[in-house]
Structure 1
């Protein structure tokens, strides 16, 4: 039991919050993969062209899900000080999610839902796109603030200085 007690004494509220956000990012990424993957799978079964927009959506969801798992594990088992520029990739994901939200929001948010379940599913997918963008924005801002706070405190080495 002693090794676990050491683990939990180093576990702070910020770690719990980080894991919560990473879990939400993982769920969001997986839901986006599923919602857009339905249309890609249908196109594959019918030997039709897979639209690049849907492929892009699945790629963004996959990158986000993989990153959420990786960063979640890093926050549990390692200190962020050893990996100083993680926030840069999070800002990249914010841009990818923003583009995805713009593409599909422009296509589906003004559409009328009549008897078409596909339109409703795409509107739900746009909601998850926006949620993904917000979640990654929150962690990118937090990571950026953390990085510069640590750098100003002298705990993160500057390039070219030991």
Structure 2
């Protein structure tokens, strides 16, 4: 059997969906790193204090981007369903994104932009924080469903079936 045929025979719709979601998570994480990194870089250049909230945002974005890359490779080279226990880390990241969204959402969502680019950029960053929260929630739920379906298999009775 040709190597390419073996590679593509292991590719399923779940792999493609997972790869798409992981790609979106990667982009989201990189955008968050960039948006919050601007302020951290400015503070560094001016020898000012780097606020821990911005450090947290860049850290969450970095962890999420690295995780998305690793999970994307897993979905390409292996059946993601066979490694469904990874869903637990998705839940951890979802909680980190929820905290990040809460921190910056309370700070900037009610602010008036009034021609200030920094406030506008932070409102955009909050939008990406919320997108990250949703993306990691979706993959956590999918991973949880796959995990429990694989673990309990046919032992779960479905409505209408004995």
- How high is the TM-score relative to the length of structure 1? 0.91
Matches within 5 A, 1:9-158: 9-80=9-80, 83-153=83-153
Which 5+ residue runs of structure 1 have no aligned equivalent? 155-162
- How high is the TM-score relative to the length of structure 2? 0.91
Which 5+ residue runs of structure 2 have no aligned equivalent? 155-162
1:105–1:81 Cα change, 3 Å: closer
* Cα distance in 2, alignment partners of residues 83 and 141 from structure 1: 14
Following TM superposition, by how much is the alpha carbon of 1:79 offset from its aligned partner in structure 2, in angstroms? 3.0
* Cα distance in 1, alignment partners of residues 132 and 84 from structure 2: 23
Following TM superposition, by how much is the alpha carbon of 1:84 offset from its aligned partner in structure 2, in angstroms? 4.4
RMSD over aligned Cα atoms: 1.4
* Cα distance in 2, alignment partners of residues 84 and 136 from structure 1: 14
* Cα distance in 1, alignment partners of residues 80 and 24 from structure 2: 20
Following TM superposition, by how much is the alpha carbon of 1:85 offset from its aligned partner in structure 2, in angstroms? 1.9
